[in-house]
Amino acid sequence: MTTSHAGSRPTRRRIPRLRGDARNLPVAIAFLLPATIGFGVFLVWPAVRGIWLSFTDYSVFAPGQFVGLENYRRMVDDPVFWSAMNVTVQYVVINIGVQTVVALLLAVLMQRLTRSMWVRGIILSPYLVSNVVTAMVWLLLLDYQLGFVNELLHAIGLDRVLFWGDPDLVIPTIALVNVWRHLGYTALLIFAGLQTINPQLYEAAKVDGAGEWASFRRITLPLLRPYLAMVLIVTSIGSFQVFDTVSVATQGGPANASNVIQYYIYNVAFTRYDFGYASAMSVALLVVLSVITFAQYRMTRAGQSDVN
Partner 1 sequence: MTITSASPQARPAAGRLNSRRVRRPWVGRALGWVVMGLVLLVTLFPFYWMLRTALSSNAALATNPTSLLPVDASLNGFRRALGLTTRQESLEQGGFGATIDFWRYLSNSVVVATVVTVGQVFFSALAAYAFSRMRWPGRNAVFAVFLAGLMIPSIFTLLPNFVLIRDLGLLDTLPGIALPTMFMTPFAVFFLRQFFLGVPFEIEEAAMLDGASRMGTFFRILLPMAAPAVSTLAVLTYMTSWNDYLWPLLVSQSDRSRVLTLALGVFRSQAPAQAPDWSGLMAATLLAALPMLLLFAVFARRIVNSVGFTGIK
Partner 2 sequence: MRKHIIALGVVPALFALAACGGGEPDENSSSTGGAEPVELSYWLWDANQQPGYEQCAADFTAANPNITIAFQQYGWDDYWTKLTASFVGDSAPDVFTDHLAKYAEFAGQGQLLALDDLIAADNFDTSVFADGLIDPWVFTDGMTYGIPKDWDTTAYFYNADMMEEAGFTAEDLMDLTWNPDDGGTFEQLVAHLTVDANGVRGDEAGFDKGNVAVYGIGINPSYDVTGQMQWANFTGSLGWDYLDENPWGTHYNLDDPGFQKTIDWFYGLSDKGYMPPAGTFSDETPTQIGSGKVAIGTNGDWASSQFFALDGISIGVFPGPVGPSGQRASIFNGLADSISASSDHQAEAWMWVQYLGSSACQDVIASTATVFPAIPSATDKALEAFAAKGWPVEAFSSYLDGGRTFLPPITVNSGEVYALVTPALEAIHLGQADASSLTAVNDQLNQIIGE
Please report, as residue ranges, which positions from 47 to 106 form the binding site for partner 2 (by CB under 8 A). 59-62
Q: Considering only 7-15, 178-186, 254-262, 288-296, which stretch makes contact with partner 2 by CB under 8 A?
A: 254-262
The HSE-up count of residue 123 (CA atoms within 13 Å, CB side) is 23
Residues in the chain: 308
Q: List binders of partner 2 among 152-211 (CB under 8 A).
A: 162, 164-167
Neighbours of 31 (CB within 10 A): 11
Instruction: Specify the residue, 139 or 223, whose C-beta has the smaller distance to partner 2.
Output: 139
Contact by Cβ (8 Å): 216, 155? no
Partnered with residue 56 across adjacent β-strands are 66
| Positive or negative torsion for Cα 250, 252, 255, 258 | positive
Answer with the entry of partner 1, partner 2, none that 6 interacts with (C-beta below 5 to 8 A by kind): none
Pick one of 39, 45, 66, 270: the residue that binds partner 2 (CB under 8 A).
270
Compute the least distance from the CB of residue 109 to partner 1, in Å: 5
The answer to whether residue 226 forms part of the interface with partner 1 (CB under 8 A) is: yes
Residue 126 CB neighbours (<10 A): 19
Q: What is the CA radius of gyration of the chain?
A: 25
113 vs 156 by CB, closer to partner 1 = 113
Contact present, 250 and 170 (Cβ < 8 Å): yes
Distance between first and last Cα of the chain: 13
Cβ–Cβ under 8 Å, residues 183 and 104: no
> Binding to partner 1 (CB under 8 A): which residues in 151-210?
151, 180, 183-185, 188-189, 192, 195-196, 198-200, 202-203, 206-207, 209
Q: How far apart are CA 247 and CA 131, in angstroms?
A: 10
Task: Report the partner that residue 272 touches, choosing among partner 2, partner 1, none (CB closer than 5 to 8 A by kind).
Answer: partner 2
Please say which residue, 104 or 274, places its beta carbon nearer to partner 2. 274
For residues 168 and 208, which CB has a smaller minimum distance to partner 2 in the complex? 168
Stretch that binds partner 2, among 8-16, 41-49, 89-97, 143-151 (CB under 8 A): 143-151
**String marking each residue 73-112 x if it binds partner 1 according to CB under 8 A:** -----------------------------x--xx--x-xx
In whole angstroms, how close is the CB of 143 to partner 2 at the nearest point? Answer: 6
Per rule CB under 8 A, is residue 237 in the interface with partner 1? Answer: yes
Q: Using the rule CB under 8 A, is 122 a contact of partner 2?
A: no
Whole-number Å distance between alpha carbons of 62 and 155: 58
Q: What angle do CA 218, 307, 23 make, to 5 degrees?
A: 160
**Of residues 115-154, those binding partner 1 (CB under 8 A):** 115, 117, 119-133, 136-138, 140-141, 143, 145-148, 151
Instruction: Work out what residue 86 binds among partner 2, partner 1, none; the CB cut-off runs from 5 to 8 Å by kind.
Output: none
Backbone angles phi, psi at 56, to 5 degrees: -125, 180
